[in-house]
């Protein structure tokens, strides 16, 4: 299952191949080489390119978009000074969307993986519905929400009538609509890995819990939740990482506005519109660095019992 | 479970969540029939014109064709490279395995915007002109790790005794691979290929950095979004959706049928 990517390594290799003769090492190398060379050339080298670009200086008397090799560490200080609110926004929105997606996705995954177990047809149907959003264009489903939240729609009119929204208020272009869009777009990524762990959950553990006079809540907290933790870890990472780097939901043609731009939007505009490659590269390096640190700490902490 | 409240609360919550997931899909589908002139925001009236004459929106069919072409090429590349890596990782022991696993995990843990900007910076440094080739290179990159994970799961569920039986029956290594291993791996490879195609077809974030003048379907939608997306885009998205759902249903039905046949024998 592709969505269990962040879970524990699946299956150990067969024992009989462990004593395989040495020359099979050559076969392994031949199989691995093309894929690994590809990653070296188009994943690792680009990361080094980003690092080098992030330190470049403008060519003197050059045109816009002309830069030369340099060691301008100030580029980093400059982008942090200019764009720290975008960093905060990106991580704030991503955390909010991850929490909301978990609150929606976990009960859904539990229902499909545990309650629907004795109804295989309904289970397959529900799973198909969970992945259905993958099959409609990401951009169009986000635009659909934009149009559903437009100022003249009944929902917005109602919110204004009951004074939840001020008469001149909007739903689109706000932090609310961006977090809403991020949450919606990543619910399947949250639900599927949790479903894969809950689907394998041995129900006898839950019976044992109630046999030992644990309340349903205690059984859930002490048995079900810890056993589904690997799914929660993969689901939250599969939601948090793409959400933090997203620039569609927060773009002003979609659910955002100038006041909701995230770090992804700034990387995009610096690279593509402003041709300020060093700034875009420095922001990318910082984003990647922060995400690696967050993911590393999170995976390590959740690997122990600290989270439970 | 003892509370009757809990009995219906969860199903209701889950069904509401599923309905929530379907809202934009239904919206896109319904508005593909809208008799709108340019921007497809307000419901005007029902028409089949958008479906009958999809290509009337300028550039949309060309962009769709580009997406199919790029999706096919990226799927082929990623599935080939990824399957080889997956077989090696499961079937052979060698040093440096954990480093390789880390290298495969990292692209999935990297935000797409960083992958896109990194490739674009490299193409810029090497003065490579952006176009079909650079888009395909980028798509193979982000599909590769997903292929490895999907095929790896299949390889590790294979019983090595089957291959041993092939060797015991004096099959050459090539015969064992093509007659035993490959047919058993095929469902995993097909799943990986379908996933790659879906990822490639819908990618915008990475493509945006590396497309040059080539428009894929998502790039076309993004450009159109600034002034209003015509209903023809909804037609294409709805048609792709219906096709994908049909593939999912057919594959689930065949799996169920095979399971029943196995249970009977």
Chain segment B208-239, per-residue pLDDT in tens = 999 999 999 999 999 998 888 899 999 999 99
**Inter-chain CB proximity B145 and A53 less than 8 Å:** no
**Inter-chain CB proximity A32 and B160 less than 8 Å:** no
Average confidence score pLDDT of chain A: 87
**A162-201 burial string, b = 16+ CB within 10 Å, else e?**
eeebeeeeebbbbbbbbbbbbbbbbbbbbbbbbbbbbbeb
Question: Measured between beta carbons, which residues in chain A are less than 8 angstroms from residue B91?
Answer: 13-14, 17, 28
- Average of per-residue pLDDT across B57-84: 95
For residue B241, the distance in angstroms to the closest alpha carbon of chain A comes to 5
pLDDT score for A215: 86
For residue B46, list its beta bridge partners: B34
| A92 close contact with B: CB closer than 8 A | no
Position A4 pLDDT exceeds 70: no
pLDDT score for B143: 96
Confidence of residue B136 (pLDDT cuts 50, 70, 90): very high
**pLDDT (tens digit, 9 = 90+) per residue, B240-261?**
999 999 988 888 888 778 878 8
pLDDT score for B218: 96
Rg (CA), chain B: 23
For residue B149, the distance in angstroms to the closest alpha carbon of chain A comes to 6
Number of neighbouring beta carbons within 10 Å of residue B11: 13
CA pair distance A107, A43, nearest whole angstrom: 37
Report DSSP state, residue A275. Answer: -
Restricting to A residues 158-187, those with a Cβ less than 8 Å away from any Cβ of B are: 184, 187
**pLDDT (tens digit, 9 = 90+) per residue, A113-127?**
999 998 988 999 999
Residue B94: partners with Cβ closer than 8 Å, 6 or more residues away: A25, A28, A29
**Inter-chain CB proximity A16 and B160 less than 8 Å:** yes
* Cα first-last separation, chain B: 38
Position A8 pLDDT exceeds 50: no
Lowest-confidence segment of B23-32, B141-150, B170-179, B196-205 by average pLDDT: B170-179
pLDDT score for A307: 38
For residue A54, the distance in angstroms to the closest alpha carbon of chain B comes to 10
- Average of per-residue pLDDT across A192-220: 89
Q: How far is CA B240 from the centre of its chain?
A: 12
**pLDDT (tens digit, 9 = 90+) per residue, A47-76?**
999 999 999 998 888 888 889 888 889 999
pLDDT score for B6: 64
User: Is A101 strand, coil or helix?
Assistant: helix
pLDDT score for B132: 97
Restricting to B residues 96-115, those with a Cβ less than 8 Å away from any Cβ of A are: 100-101, 103-115
Question: Measured between beta carbons, which residues in chain B are less than 8 angstroms from residue A10?
Answer: 152-153, 156
| A126 close contact with B: CB closer than 8 A | yes
For residue A68, list its beta bridge partners: A57
Question: Measured between beta carbons, which residues in chain B are less than 8 angstroms from residue A144?
Answer: 23-25, 27-28, 31
Cα four-point dihedral sign B187, B244, B141, A47? negative
- Average of per-residue pLDDT across A25-40: 91
pLDDT score for A22: 53
Restricting to B residues 168-187, those with a Cβ less than 8 Å away from any Cβ of A are: none
- Average of per-residue pLDDT across B142-152: 93
Check: pTM over 0.80? Answer yes or no: yes
Confidence of residue B182 (pLDDT cuts 50, 70, 90): confident
CA pair distance B77, B95, nearest whole angstrom: 26
pLDDT score for B258: 81
Residue A58 backbone dihedrals phi, psi, to 5 degrees: -60, 145
For residue A67, list its beta bridge partners: A58
| B92 close contact with A: CB closer than 8 A | yes
Report the percent of chain A where pLDDT is more than 90: 59
CA pair distance A42, B103, nearest whole angstrom: 12
pLDDT score for A111: 95
| A155 close contact with B: CB closer than 8 A | no
Rg (CA), chain A: 24
For residue A169, the distance in angstroms to the closest alpha carbon of chain B comes to 20
Number of neighbouring beta carbons within 10 Å of residue A147: 18
Position B17 pLDDT exceeds 60: yes
| A45 close contact with B: CB closer than 8 A | yes
B144, A38 Cβ separation under 8 angstroms: yes
Position A308 pLDDT exceeds 60: no
Position A193 pLDDT exceeds 80: yes
Higher local confidence (pLDDT), A301 or B116:
B116
Higher local confidence (pLDDT), B167 or B6:
B167
User: Is A212 strand, coil or helix?
Assistant: coil
**Inter-chain CB proximity A43 and B248 less than 8 Å:** no
Q: Chain B residue with minimal CA distance to A68?
A: B125
CA pair distance B19, B15, nearest whole angstrom: 6
For residue B34, list its beta bridge partners: B46
Residue B38: partners with Cβ closer than 8 Å, 6 or more residues away: B227, B228, B230
Lowest-confidence segment of A176-180, B4-8, B90-94, B152-156 by average pLDDT: B4-8
User: Is A57 strand, coil or helix?
Assistant: strand
Residues in chain A, overall count = 308
CA pair distance B140, A292, nearest whole angstrom: 23
CA pair distance B209, B190, nearest whole angstrom: 29
Q: Chain A residue with minimal CA distance to B227?
A: A253
Confidence of residue B1 (pLDDT cuts 50, 70, 90): very low
Higher local confidence (pLDDT), A291 or B228:
A291
Ordered DSSP codes for chain B: --SHHHHHHHHHHHHHHHHHHHHHHHHHHHGGGB--SS---S---B-SHHHHTGGGSTTHHHHHHHHHHHHHHHHHHHHHHHHHHHHHHHH---TTHHHHHHHHHHHHHS-HHHHHHHHHHHHHHTTPPPSHHHHHHHHHHHHHHHHHHHHHHHHHTS-HHHHHHHHHTT--HHHHIIIIIHHHHHHHHHHHHHHHHHHHHH--TTHHHH-TTPPPHHHHHHHHHTT---HHHHHHHHHHHHHHHHHHHHHHHHHHHHHHHHHH-
Position A3 pLDDT exceeds 80: no
**Inter-chain CB proximity A128 and B248 less than 8 Å:** yes
CA pair distance A145, A164, nearest whole angstrom: 19
**Inter-chain CB proximity A13 and B93 less than 8 Å:** yes
| A47 close contact with B: CB closer than 8 A | yes
CA pair distance B86, A287, nearest whole angstrom: 30
**Inter-chain CB proximity A280 and B234 less than 8 Å:** no
For residue A57, list its beta bridge partners: A68
| A299 close contact with B: CB closer than 8 A | no
Question: Measured between beta carbons, which residues in chain B are less than 8 angstroms from residue A180?
Answer: none
CA pair distance B152, A137, nearest whole angstrom: 28
Contact pairs from chain A to chain B, CB under 8 Å:
284
- Average of per-residue pLDDT across A188-213: 90
| B194 close contact with A: CB closer than 8 A | no
CB nearest B117 (choices: A27, A130, A281): A281
Give the residue from A154, A159, A188 showing the smallest Cα distance to A174: A159
CB nearest B209 (choices: A13, A52, A271): A271
**Inter-chain CB proximity B25 and A141 less than 8 Å:** yes
Interface test with B, best of A32, A207, A277 (most B CBs within 10 A): A32
**Inter-chain CB proximity B112 and A111 less than 8 Å:** no
pLDDT score for A156: 84
């Amino acid at each position: 299952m592709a969505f269990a990517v962040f879970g524990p390594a699946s299956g150990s290799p067969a024992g009989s191949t462990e004593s395989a003769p040495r020359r099979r090492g050559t076969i392994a190398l031949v199989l691995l080489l093309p894929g690994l060379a590809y990653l070296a050339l188009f994943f690792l080298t680009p990361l080094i390119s980003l690092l080098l670009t992030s330190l470049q200086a403008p060519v003197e008397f050059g045109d816009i978009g002309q830069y030369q090799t340099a060691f301008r560490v100030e580029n980093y200080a400059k982008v942090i000074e200019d764009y720290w609110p975008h960093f905060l926004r990106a991580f704030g929105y991503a955390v909010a969307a991850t929490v909301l997606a978990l609150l929606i996705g976990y009960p859904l995954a539990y229902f499909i993986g545990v309650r629907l177990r004795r109804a295989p047809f309904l289970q397959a149907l529900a799973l198909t519905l969970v992945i259905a959003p993958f099959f409609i264009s990401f951009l169009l489903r986000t635009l659909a929400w934009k149009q559903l939240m437009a100022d003249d729609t009944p929902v917005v009119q109602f919110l204004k009538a009951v004074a939840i929204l001020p008469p001149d208020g909007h739903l689109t272009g706000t932090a609310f609509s961006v977090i809403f869009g991020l949450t919606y777009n990543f619910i399947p990524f949250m639900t599927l890995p949790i479903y894969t762990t809950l689907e394998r959950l041995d129900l006898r553990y839950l019976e044992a819990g109630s046999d030992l006079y644990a309340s349903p809540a205690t059984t859930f907290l002490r048995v079900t939740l810890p056993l589904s933790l690997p799914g929660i870890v993969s689901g939250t990472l599969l939601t948090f990482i793409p959400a933090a780097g997203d620039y569609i939901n927060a773009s002003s043609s979609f659910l955002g506005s100038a006041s909701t731009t995230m770090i992804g939007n700034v990387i995009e505009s610096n690279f593509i519109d402003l041709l300020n490659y060093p700034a875009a590269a420095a922001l990318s390096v910082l984003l990647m660095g922060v995400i690696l640190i967050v993911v590393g700490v999170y995976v390590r902490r959740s690997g122990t019992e600290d989270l439970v | 479970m003892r509370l009757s409240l809990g009995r219906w609360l969860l199903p209701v919550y889950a069904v509401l969540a599923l309905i929530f997931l379907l809202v934009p899909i239904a919206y896109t589908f319904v508005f593909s029939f809208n008799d709108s002139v340019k921007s497809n925001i307000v419901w005007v009236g029902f028409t089949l014109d958008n479906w009958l004459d999809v290509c009337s929106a300028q550039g949309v069919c060309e962009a769709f064709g580009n997406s199919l072409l790029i999706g096919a090429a990226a799927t082929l590349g990623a599935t080939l490279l990824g399957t080889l890596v997956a077989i090696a990782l499961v079937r052979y022991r060698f040093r440096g395995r954990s480093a390789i696993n880390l290298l495969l995990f990292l692209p999935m843990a990297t935000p797409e915007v960083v992958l896109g900007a990194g490739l674009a910076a490299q193409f810029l440094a090497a003065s490579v002109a952006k176009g079909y080739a650079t888009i395909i290179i980028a798509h193979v990159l982000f599909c590769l790790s997903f292929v490895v994970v999907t095929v790896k799961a299949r390889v590790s569920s294979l019983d090595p005794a089957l291959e041993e039986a092939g060797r015991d029956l004096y099959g050459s290594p090539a015969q064992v691979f093509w007659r035993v291993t490959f047919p058993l791996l095929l469902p995993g490879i097909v799943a990986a290929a379908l996933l790659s195609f879906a990822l490639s077809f819908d990618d915008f974030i990475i493509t945006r950095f590396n497309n040059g003048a080539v428009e894929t379907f998502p790039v076309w939608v993004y450009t159109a979004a600034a002034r209003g997306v015509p209903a023809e885009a909804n037609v294409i998205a709805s048609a792709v959706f219906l096709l994908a759902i049909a593939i999912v249903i057919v594959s689930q039905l065949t799996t169920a049928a095979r399971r029943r046949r196995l249970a009977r024998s």
